[in-house]
Amino acid sequence: MTFQALGLIDPIQRTLDTLGYKQPTPVQKQAIPVVLAGRDLMAAAQTGTGKTAGFALPILQRLTMDGVTAPKAVRCLVLVPTRELAEQVYESFRTYGGNLPLRCAVAYGGVPIEPQITKLRKGLDVLVATPGRLKDLHDQGAISFTLLQTLVLDEADRMLDLGFERDLDILLAALPKKRQTLLFSATFSDEIRQLAKGMLKDPVSIQVSASNTTTKSVKQWLIPTDKRRKPELLLHLLKKLQWGQVLVFVKTRKGVETLVKTLQEHGISADSIHGDKTQPARLKALARFKQAEVQLLVATDVAARGLDIEALPQVVNFDLPTVAEDYIHRIGRTGRAGMEGEAVSLVCADEVEILKAIETLTGQVIRREEEPGFEADHRVPETGPKGVAAALAKKAAAEAPAKKKRPFTGPAGGTAAGKASGGTTASKAAARPAGGDASLGTWTPPVPTAGKGAGATRSAGGKAGTGRIYGGVGKPAAPKGAVVVTGGRGAKSLARAAGKVTAQPGGRKPKSGSR
């Protein structure tokens, strides 16, 4: 199937040709006709499936074909949970709408609101925003929803995780009842279904891949080791497997900075993204990584969503995340748009509970590879099928009652359970060729497609009528003609998620999180 067959207008078609998008992805095939027809949509689609174009292309078409904006008015609102995703989605709208006479802007917290209010006076066709700042803009009378025709909730599951429920309720009450609503979520919990029930009218449901599954094009494995050995192990893997650029996830902000320091001391170029950094600093670090000025980008989960990096072959979970869903989003940073990717987790004994939670969520046991010389003293308990693990635990306890007390792991050097659950022996691991593993299939670095990612082909200045609203002392000046909007809320709320606590209404009260 071609994009033309989906009924997209010529200016959009030309943009897609320029981007090198030859065929719609499955989510695009299903979503585009539904959105063009004005129907509500509930889509289970995770990042990397092309879902952004799935809603952005038909929305841009409808906005072009029908009506104009007015002062303070916004015709399409896209709500997203984090600043990074806001930037990403905004960039996509700018790119996909590059040949269209539409005004787009992005709004998230952390920068002064006044320049945003000024920019919004002219009215917008599309506003991508985090709920907190949008609510602030609305409270100040800076934005009107009277012309709103389409509302998109992107990564709705994450929005609830981050405590935006109350802000969403307030905003939804302020929106016109007659509108088109599209809800995208990587996972569909009962909470999300409840939210959908209240806001969607007779929606078409689509599911691109089974919810809560990880992208198939990403090969996943883990290396059990001790916590203190992780930096050394990472350095060892970088050398041994001759990795190119790697996105490394670390649980805490402090952990990120410590690791960056260690890497730099070993002559490896690395930069960081985490919640203590200003938005311009985060964007700069991302740009340096995208331009291959640094080999490693070390990030907390604040970066796990919304980062779209062309041809990123390698993600390393230096620490497992605090929330199991974040694992899916982290590894979704690689294996994008049909390319192959690899995600390696360095797992220590005290991460076994979250490992189990991840494996339960994804419905698969992550393959284990012992790395010779880095075997864990505090062994990481096997996480295979419960019965096998429990039986082996009992057996091991019976066989070695006098042994030093440590978490159950099963017999050393790989066990029946380990093999049954994807575990491998040290000798097998040693046989793994550089950059790949026979048991995983040969790893070939992905070749970038002719078409760049949504953001990659945009000219530096952007087109007239689009942009950001920037502000803040000491922050870089906005590009000429830029509109701003900001969020801060995302970062604050991330703190809550870091503590694996229940989402708090409103997302307003920042807790001292560590991400």
- 312, 245 Cβ separation under 8 angstroms: yes
Place of tokens 């230096």: 318
Per CB under 6 A, 388 contacts ligand AMP:
no
Minimum distance from residue 447 beta carbon to ligand AMP (Å): 13
What token pair was written down for 271?
A: 């930069």
Per CB under 6 A, 496 contacts ligand AMP:
no
CB closer to ligand AMP, 24 vs 81: 24
CB closer to ligand AMP, 53 vs 120: 53
CB closer to ligand AMP, 51 vs 62: 51
Give per-residue burial for 56-68: e unless 16+ CB within 10 Å, then b: bbbbbbbbbeeee
Size of the site for ligand AMP (CB under 6 A): 18
- 182, 150 Cβ separation under 8 angstroms: yes
- 21, 3 Cβ separation under 8 angstroms: yes
C-alpha pair distances (Å), 213 with each of 83, 301, 331, 358, 361: 25, 19, 11, 10, 7
Per CB under 6 A, 52 contacts ligand AMP:
yes
CB atoms within 10 A of CB 190: 7
Pick the binder of ligand AMP from 48, 81, 275, 414 (CB under 6 A).
48
CB closer to ligand AMP, 79 vs 429: 79
Tell me the window of 46-54, 118-126, 168-176, 389-397 that interacts with ligand AMP (CB under 6 A): 46-54
CB closer to ligand AMP, 23 vs 444: 23
CB closer to ligand AMP, 48 vs 513: 48
Per CB under 6 A, 50 contacts ligand AMP:
yes
CB closer to ligand AMP, 42 vs 498: 42
Q: For the chain, how are helix, strand and coil distributed in percent, rounded to 5?
A: 40, 15, 45
What token pair was written down for 499?
A: 């503590």
Pick the binder of ligand AMP from 235, 337, 388, 396 (CB under 6 A).
337
What token pair was written down for 497?
A: 């998620």
CB closer to ligand AMP, 84 vs 226: 84
Q: 412-431: which residues touch ligand AMP (CB under 6 A)? A: none
Pick the binder of ligand AMP from 8, 41, 53, 152 (CB under 6 A).
53
CB atoms within 10 A of CB 340: 16
Minimum distance from residue 492 beta carbon to ligand AMP (Å): 24
DSSP assignment of 60-129 equals HHHHHHS----TTBEEEEEE-SSHHHHHHHHHHHHHHTTTS---EEEEEESS-SHHHHHHHTT-EEEEEE
CB closer to ligand AMP, 113 vs 208: 208
Distance CA 103, CA 241 (A): 46
Minimum distance from residue 514 beta carbon to ligand AMP (Å): 27
How wide is the angle at C-alpha 263 spanned by C-alphas 257 and 269, nearest 5°? 100
Here's the x/- map for ligand AMP, 244-283, by CB under 6 A: it reads as ----------------------------------------
Q: Beta 104-109 vs 466-468: how paired, if at all? A: parallel
CB closer to ligand AMP, 16 vs 346: 16
Pick the binder of ligand AMP from 308, 325, 351, 382 (CB under 6 A).
308
- 397, 408 Cβ separation under 8 angstroms: yes
Per CB under 6 A, 49 contacts ligand AMP:
yes
CB closer to ligand AMP, 96 vs 249: 96
| Secondary structure of residue 215 in the 3-state scheme | coil
| Nearest alpha carbon to residue 235 among 256, 216, 261, 263 | 263
Phi and psi at 129, nearest 5°, equal: -150, 155
CB closer to ligand AMP, 54 vs 132: 54
Per CB under 6 A, 336 contacts ligand AMP:
yes
Distance CA 278, CA 510 (A): 16
Q: 16-35: which residues touch ligand AMP (CB under 6 A)? A: 21, 23-25, 28
Tell me the window of 44-52, 71-79, 323-331, 401-409 that interacts with ligand AMP (CB under 6 A): 44-52
Per CB under 6 A, 55 contacts ligand AMP:
no
What token pair was written down for 170?
A: 């307030």
Pick the binder of ligand AMP from 12, 30, 51, 158 (CB under 6 A).
51
Here's the x/- map for ligand AMP, 439-458, by CB under 6 A: it reads as ------------x-xx----
Minimum distance from residue 53 beta carbon to ligand AMP (Å): 4
H/E stretch holding 262: helix 253-265
Minimum distance from residue 209 beta carbon to ligand AMP (Å): 12
Minimum distance from residue 125 beta carbon to ligand AMP (Å): 20
CB half-sphere exposure, 399, CA atoms < 13 A = 9
| Secondary structure of residue 394 in the 3-state scheme | helix
Binding interface with ligand AMP (CB under 6 A): 21, 23-25, 28, 47-53, 308, 336-337, 451, 453-454
